[in-house]
Amino acid sequence: MNERQKTSCMVCKELNRPCVEKLTMDQVETLNVNRAEVNFKKGEVLCKQGAFASHIMFIREGLVKVYLENENKNLILKVKSPGYYIGLNSLFRGNVFTYSASAFIDTKVCMIDSETFKNMILENATFGAEIIRILNKSIVQTYDRLYNLTQKHLHGRLADIILCLSEHIHHDHNFQMQITRKELGELASMATESVIRILKEFKEEGIVTLNGRRLEIHKPERLRQISELG
């Protein structure tokens, strides 16, 4: 496995320009050496909440569900797509994963040794600043999600999720969802049955058409309105 030829970090540069730009050539080389490319199949677990975070992961391809585990219920924190990191939150905080993550669809990641990663921050303040920027972006997204999940009603929450899938994940008004109704419900923090009922309403109002998992948004502005109103 390890013998296989790896792509170079420079190949990933487009995905991760802001970070890679901050690094010296030497650091890029160090990064290149201290990483492993790993493929995960749909459903496989990338990291477990509470486990030692000996590495940071960088998503190259696929879609990753990041969630909190608890005896009773799980909560999806976010869905990460290529170009995002997993495990940054563990840096300088005991190196324990603060969440679990699993692959929504087949996914490729680079695993980077977390000590190496930390050293790069400590050696290169500009890189550290970039990491701060990334963390801050993530915090703002989390605040947004906190607002959406606590202050909006089901219709608004589902409208949010649909818009998010369309804009940030599939980049199209017409897309084949990779996920089940149940998973949609977990994303919007609502019962599967409620997802179905509200999708039906959206369909009846002509906001979307729906055929199995293929969804087309006809009135994005109406969805946005529903999302705003709660």
180 binds, among its own copies, DNA, none (CB under 5 to 8 A by kind): DNA
User: What are the residues facing 67 on neighbouring strands?
Assistant: 76, 100
| 85 versus 208: smaller Cβ distance to its own copies | 85
CA dihedral 167, 173, 176, 182 (to 10 degrees): 60
Q: Does 149 bind DNA (CB under 7 A)?
A: no
Write the interaction track for its own copies spanning residues 15-54; mark x where CB under 8 A is met and - where it is not: ----------------------------------------
> By CB under 8 A, which span of 6-14, 26-34, 88-96, 169-177 interacts with its own copies?
88-96
196 binds, among its own copies, DNA, none (CB under 5 to 8 A by kind): DNA
> By CB under 8 A, which span of 39-47, 133-141, 174-182, 196-204 interacts with its own copies?
133-141
Q: Does 200 bind DNA (CB under 7 A)?
A: yes
> By CB under 7 A, which span of 112-120, 161-169, 192-200, 219-227 interacts with DNA?
192-200
The vertex-19 CA angle with 18 and 25, nearest 5°, equals 115
Q: How far is the CB of 156 from DNA (least distance, A)?
A: 8
To 10 degrees, what angle do helices 125-151 and 154-164 make?
A: 140
197 binds, among DNA, its own copies, none (CB under 5 to 8 A by kind): DNA
68 binds, among DNA, its own copies, none (CB under 5 to 8 A by kind): its own copies
Q: How far is the CB of 48 from its own copies (least distance, A)?
A: 15
Q: How far is the CB of 187 from DNA (least distance, A)?
A: 12
Contacting residues toward its own copies, per CB under 8 A: 68, 70, 72-73, 75, 77, 88-93, 98-99, 118, 121-126, 128-133, 135-140, 142-143, 145-147, 149-151, 189, 230
